[in-house]
Structure 1
């Protein structure tokens, strides 16, 4: 018997998809995580890591990883539809080898690691990501701005920064994004900094991010099923909160349409740093 009436407000589920025994506070945190997962997909990418932290506070580390993956994939469907004309697909193709390598390494790690080890590695990785974020932004302060004024709907900026154009940068950012998203659904801080280095305007940033994680999460799904992260319980949780993800994603789309570039970039940077901090504990 469930410890809270909250699930009664959620969609009815088949008997083969049992919901875990959670209290009202736990359900409130999962619903908040679902809302943040939705808005992260269409407006504020850094919010996804806050969602990961909330989910990890309620569920065991590996189970929370599986549940969050399914919530984020629900948001992916809305995001790729909303930004279907805005992604820089050429950049995404160049990132594929590094990302697949990182995802495979993360799957191997999860198959071997305990919950405690997973938490420690997540914390260490995100501590490193904060340092990378600060270092990247400090370098960017002195770099020249693009000479051509861009339309908010432009598919990409007029030219990549030296950092973004480097094959070494693609290898580092891509493999680290693949690993962190496989281990903890926490690839957002890496990709946010990389796509900001690409100098994308708002819609191009969100479109490229949306298509990146849609593809990455599809790659992650069979790995996650094979090592037990996606199972009947995590599917049940994801189905129960799916309406929340969808509504939040639609609200995020409306927010992004009104957000100016000068506001968007600082917000992304702040969320990238702040959202990483809860996962260090």
Structure 2
């Protein structure tokens, strides 16, 4: 079967496909690396459509795996703003030069990540000062959520940004991660809510992507060859989630989101 890429190109895509599965069942921001891998081998617009089909496979696996773990009330508040973001992203793709896409999304993610990390570090320092002044020798308690992620303002802001960035470049993972890390969810609740969110969003994106020519049947053979890598990555993610501490998980999410934003901004 002619896959349309050389061996080196296929290995890069295979690594990206592995991270699709891993990101869907563990660290969502890892999918940003998949975006870069696919865009390195395939034309930018074509890579977006090809990756979307693998993301839908990863979504199906993640939704089944975490089918009882999603925070559905939180997700319900995101439906309208996400749809607005997807429509805005589809319009943006019609006229925006391709060179604008990655730096714009990367810049947004970097700013949001640094704000989140800065606020968390400030709160950790404040709690340590209060503990010392009270003569408490024990380690400070875990940092509480910085905002109410169920609030209308947070839902509208993060939902619309997630819809826009995922429509434009399949890069909504870091934005959604920053939103959910504020929601004080357990690890499986975080991953389950993330999985259900992107399953719905990617299905919403599919007709738009077909309509503007991003999804093409010419790459079906190539995508079929990458399916086992998505399945392997999903299995690795499921293995990790059962063994990672919540605080480690949250800081990993924040740092992966920041790194993803920097990489996108510098592309």
Choose from 228, 233, 242 the match for 2:218.
Answer: 233
Q: Could you report, residue by residue, the CA deviation over 1:227-270 in whole angstroms, capped at 9, with x for unpaired residues?
A: 11111124433222111101210121111111111211111111
Q: What CA distance in whole angstroms lies between the structure 2 residues aligned with 1:143 and 1:216?
A: 33
Q: Give, in angstroms, the shift of residue 132 of structure 1.
A: 0.9
1:179 is aligned to 2:159: no
Partner of 1:24: 7
CA distance 1:108–1:19, change in 2 (3 Å): farther
1:139 is aligned to 2:119: yes
Q: Give, in angstroms, the shift of residue 160 of structure 1.
A: 6.4
Q: Could you report, residue by residue, the CA deviation over 1:10-51 in whole angstroms, capped at 9, with x for unpaired residues?
A: xxxxxxxx742x221111100000001110000111110011
TM-score, normalised via structure 1 length: 0.83
Q: What CA distance in whole angstroms lies between the structure 1 residues aligned with 2:249 and 2:94?
A: 37
* Aligned residues between the structures: 248
Classify the secondary structure of the residue corresponding to 1:46. Answer: helix
Partner of 1:275: 260
Aligned 1:4-23 pairs, distance under 5 A: 19-20=3-4, 22-23=5-6
Is contact 2:108-2:261 (8 Å) kept?
no
Classify the secondary structure of the residue corresponding to 1:174. Answer: helix
Gaps in structure 1 of 5+ consecutive residues: 1-7, 9-17, 146-158
Aligned 1:36-75 pairs, distance under 5 A: 36-75=19-58
Q: What CA distance in whole angstroms lies between the structure 2 residues aligned with 1:199 and 1:172?
A: 18
Gaps in structure 2 of 5+ consecutive residues: 128-143
Q: What CA distance in whole angstroms lies between the structure 2 residues aligned with 1:236 and 1:222?
A: 21
Q: What CA distance in whole angstroms lies between the structure 2 residues aligned with 1:134 and 1:187?
A: 17
Choose from 200, 217, 230 the match for 1:245.
Answer: 230
Q: What CA distance in whole angstroms lies between the structure 1 residues aligned with 2:20 and 2:214?
A: 18
Q: What CA distance in whole angstroms lies between the structure 2 residues aligned with 1:205 and 1:52?
A: 22
